[in-house]
Amino acid sequence: MTPFGQKLRELRAARDVTLKDMAAALRVTPAYLSALEHGRRGRPSWRLVQSIIGYFNVIWDEAEEIERLARLSHPRIVIDTAGLTPPATELANRLSEQIAHLTPAEIDRLMEALPPRPRRGQPKTQ
pLDDT mean over 81-90: 94
Q: What's the chain's length in residues?
A: 126
The pLDDT assigned to 121 comes to 58
Q: 10-14, 49-53, 122-126: lowest mean pLDDT where?
A: 122-126
The pLDDT assigned to 124 comes to 53
Question: Residue 122 pLDDT more than 60?
Answer: no
Domain boundaries, the chain: 3-71, 78-126
State pLDDT tens for residues 63-78: 999 999 998 888 788 8
The pLDDT assigned to 78 comes to 87
CATH class for the domain made up of 3-71: mainly alpha
